[in-house]
Structure 1
Amino acid sequence: MEKKYNAYENALEVLRGAAEQAGYKHDEYVTLEYPERELKVSVPVVMDDGSVQVFEGYRVQHSSLRGPCKGGIRFHKDSDIEEVKALALWMTMKCAVANIPYGGAKGAVKVDPAKLSRGELQRLTRRYTAMVLPLIGPEKDIPAPDVNTNAETMGLIMDTYSMLKGYTVPGVVTGKPVEIGGSLGRSEATGRGVMITAMQLMKKLGMQPENTRAAVQGFGNVGSAAADLLAKQGVKICALSDVSGGIYCADGLDVSKVRAFIAAEKGRFLKDYTIDDVRHITNEELLEADVDLLIPAALENQITAENAGKIRAKYIVEAANGPTSVEADAILTQRGITVVPDILANAGGVVVSYFEWVQNIQSLMWEEKEVNRHLKEIMVRAFEEVWTICKEKQVTMRMAAYMSALKRLITAKHFRPIFP
């Protein structure tokens, strides 16, 4: 029987395994096993009916070793401190793999945003911002969107922070609307990074995009952008899914048409899509679909010991954070399935967040072509570094990515020894 999933324990197990395989002593990485700061806050909100509800919020700063902390804020009913700690650790590793000068952080509010009105969500966002105010700032900790938050949410956080400071501070968040200092290309950056990574993998393996069949689990911002961009490269997207279930077409789906259908009306899901010759499937069926490439782009812990043996895809590119449990990873490795890990594959979002922050603190505005060009350069370089370690050390792509990150973090610790 599989043990109860704990995201942070899962993250630590991978970290320790990579450090051991790389030959590091425990003293060299022990500080990375503990977040620098954990803040838990109560977030009272006056609801539309005049009653008061109190929500639980979190902000965790895992590491500021290589620069200000960086990480998203999610609104989700199942969020807890262990999940947020894991996500913050993954952000530290992700920034180190991509070699951008940030450490990792993450935030969350335990709430089902679908049950709140627009006004209630705005008040929740502003109050949460006020509660974590001592931790955030353009030089300290820069939030970004995550699950169930978006550019509008970031605009509210920036406005609240600016109101409390008494002047406009666009660099306090990234992923905000372009009109108030957001970066062109940011909204699809994570999905674009996933596409770039998948294309690099195919190139290494001699796979032709037009002969490659893919399934994408999760049709939110990341999954939909990744699916659309891969389809434009010639990859046949055979299956897509969201919280309502999935759709399948052996001849390939018209991703642009599916995106347009979902965007046309609020509250639409893939279960409502009956256009074309599609078959409705479950999320489980999508994960086990007969495809070459599987892209989990939903939540963590989707590929487990229970379904890892049934996965038919030979290659997995993790667009979500932590979608594969440690036990599942071992099964996939044993079966010869290549997994490109989350800390490499989905780094595109934080890379373009870095570009946005740079533009904000320098009062600049880059063209979208420039943003996408720099993103591709960084993603390709990071992939090459990880691929080289993978082949030289004869380890999995996940271990190689963690080794790459650990080398940078441990070197930084050498130059920034424990204070005092």
Structure 2
Amino acid sequence: MAEKTDGVNLWQAVVEQLDHLASLLQLDPGVHAILREPKRALEVSIPVKMDDGSLKIFKGFRVHHNLNRGPGKGGIRYHPEVTLDEIKALAALMTWKCAVVDLPYGGAKGGVICDPKKLSPKELEGLTRRYTSELIPLLGPERDIPAPDVGTNSQVMAWIMDTFSMDKGYSVPSVVTGKPLSIGGSQGREGATARGCVFSLLEALKVLGQSPESQSVVIQGFGNVGRHVALDLYERGFQIIGISDSQGGIYNPQGLNPQELYECKLKTGSVVHFPQGERITNQELLELECDILVPAALEHQITGANASQIKAQLIVEGANGPTTPEADQILEEKGIFVIPDILANAGGVVVSYFEWVQGLQAYFWSYEEVDQKLERLMRKAFLDVYELAQKKKVSMRLAAHMIAVSRVAEATRLRGIYP
């Protein structure tokens, strides 16, 4: 997955971006060298007894990029195209994401090469528990706190928490976030990434002097992020004209009801079977005429090959790394306002942080408290980035990374080198 159809390696793109930032920020060469490499990368073999009695070996990874601002934080994804380079890149992006919203975390990421849709619940549980047991030396509330990502959910987090707790001999709810409420999860965790996107978008429209009611929206991806973005924006009066999932998209210039679309997906397996719209491909969806585009699927969907065809005026990156560096330059030249991934989709890690804090205190907040804190933090982070972008006359992406890298570099410099 790190190697995309346009030939861009996600890890190499992250390193090249850091090198550019190091030059702009005049980073100390030693600090720059530290930030270019992950602190540690673990590759594990995961034997799983399948339902038919056979034994199958899966490969898994966990990467810590930089832990100078706090314990590692980052999701675990189950996907057939997971690679170590992809996980390294996503761990680095988590470092920047946590820093840009000023959370006391470093960046981590994990993944297993598998197709969770082809595994039975028993096989999925066996894989998760064995993977967790291999990661135990790295995990802990003060060390590394996983969360859900592509192909994983609250049930997977519950299995991870239970496996870790069995090893310790007592319950350790704060070892993961994104858990079910009944075992220490947080109100407002489901849909938090999407609400962070929405709060960022609303703040962008405010500074751009635009009204939500007049905006047409296209959303690529109808998983946890895309679906909740669609539902939230629809309730706020935005017109959702295009939505897609892995099988393709549906388009209706008169507007789509995302709740009806979700019910169709539950019944048929995909949004493409929705009767009230035109079936289109994911590439056609990205190039639709619209005001706002929300790429909320996988990496590198907007590339040098299609960026010139993007017609949206505002892009909110709900996915991690959906835009290649070449595409980013084209979008900037076209004058498209981009809210970058490390800012736009940070709502998930923000509420994960809230969940972790609540778990450590064994004191839990209401949904309203969580949402108010999330909105306040996301709006502040957006304005910090926007103000720097205006001051330095740079893109929002560059401004966000300048803030993030500066914060991590400062922590690295202050802590020094041990021994």
Corresponding residue of 2:90: 87
Corresponding residue of 2:312: 313
Corresponding residue of 1:353: 352
Corresponding residue of 2:271: 270
Which of 210, 227, 230 in structure 1 is aligned with 2:230? 227
The correspondence of residues 92-171 of structure 1 with structure 2, limited to 5 A, is 92-171=95-174
Moved more, 329-338 or 133-142: 329-338
Whole-Å separation in 2 of the counterparts to 1:33 and 1:344: 21
Cα deviation 1:98-131 (Å, max 9, x = unaligned): 0010000000000011111111111001110011
Task: Output the amino acid matched with 2:103.
Answer: I
Moved more, 19-28 or 91-100: 19-28
Corresponding residue of 1:290: 289
Whole-Å separation in 1 of the counterparts to 2:63 and 2:27: 26
The correspondence of residues 19-98 of structure 1 with structure 2, limited to 5 A, is 19-98=22-101
Whole-Å separation in 1 of the counterparts to 2:36 and 2:54: 41
Moved more, 74-83 or 7-16: 7-16
Task: Output the amino acid matched with 2:105.
Answer: Y
Which of 261, 267, 284 in structure 2 is aligned with 1:258? 261
Helix, strand or coil at the partner of 1:303: coil
Whole-Å separation in 2 of the counterparts to 1:233 and 1:171: 34
The correspondence of residues 377-396 of structure 1 with structure 2, limited to 5 A, is 377-396=376-395
Whole-Å separation in 2 of the counterparts to 1:149 and 1:54: 19
Residues 216, 239 of structure 2: 8 Å contact kept: yes
Whole-Å separation in 1 of the counterparts to 2:328 and 2:353: 30
How far apart are 1:251 and its partner, in Å?
Answer: 1.5
Whole-Å separation in 1 of the counterparts to 2:148 and 2:360: 19
Task: Output the amino acid matched with 1:362.
Answer: Q
Helix, strand or coil at the partner of 2:190: coil
Residues 97, 342 of structure 2: 8 Å contact kept: yes
Cα deviation 1:313-343 (Å, max 9, x = unaligned): 1111100000011111111111111211100
Residues 6, 303 of structure 2: 8 Å contact kept: no
Helix, strand or coil at the partner of 1:239: strand
How far apart are 1:358 and its partner, in Å?
Answer: 0.4
Whole-Å separation in 2 of the counterparts to 1:389 and 1:29: 22
Whole-Å separation in 1 of the counterparts to 2:313 and 2:271: 25
Corresponding residue of 2:415: 416
Whole-Å separation in 2 of the counterparts to 1:107 and 1:69: 11
Alignment partner of 1:192 is 2:195:
yes
Residues 13, 326 of structure 1: 8 Å contact kept: no
Task: Output the amino acid matched with 2:413.
Answer: H
How far apart are 1:92 and its partner, in Å?
Answer: 0.3
Task: Output the amino acid matched with 2:374.
Answer: L
Calculate the TM-score normalised by the size of structure 2: 0.97
Whole-Å separation in 1 of the counterparts to 2:27 and 2:415: 17
How far apart are 1:296 and its partner, in Å?
Answer: 0.3
Question: After TM superposition, which residue ranges in structure 1, 4 or more long, deviate above 3 angstroms?
Answer: none
Change over 3 Å in CA distance of 1:319–1:149 after alignment to 2: same
Task: Output the amino acid matched with 1:367.
Answer: S
Residues 262, 271 of structure 2: 8 Å contact kept: no
Corresponding residue of 1:179: 182
Task: Output the amino acid matched with 2:219.
Answer: V
Moved more, 4-13 or 154-163: 4-13
Helix, strand or coil at the partner of 2:66: coil
Residues 92, 107 of structure 2: 8 Å contact kept: yes
Moved more, 39-48 or 199-208: 199-208
Calculate the TM-score normalised by the size of structure 1: 0.97
Moved more, 322-331 or 409-418: 409-418
Task: Output the amino acid matched with 1:294.
Answer: L
Structure 2: which 5+ residue stretches go unaligned? Answer: none
Helix, strand or coil at the partner of 2:171: coil
Moved more, 222-231 or 34-43: 222-231
Whole-Å separation in 1 of the counterparts to 2:169 and 2:111: 26
Moved more, 19-28 or 225-234: 19-28
Alignment partner of 1:207 is 2:205:
no
Helix, strand or coil at the partner of 1:62: strand
Structure 1: which 5+ residue stretches go unaligned? Answer: none
Whole-Å separation in 2 of the counterparts to 1:103 and 1:7: 19
How far apart are 1:14 and its partner, in Å?
Answer: 1.7
Residues 81, 113 of structure 2: 8 Å contact kept: yes
How far apart are 1:3 and its partner, in Å?
Answer: 5.9
Whole-Å separation in 2 of the counterparts to 1:367 and 1:3: 45
Q: How many residues align?
A: 415
Change over 3 Å in CA distance of 1:234–1:18 after alignment to 2: farther
Residues 71, 143 of structure 1: 8 Å contact kept: yes
Helix, strand or coil at the partner of 1:399: helix
How far apart are 1:23 and its partner, in Å?
Answer: 3.2
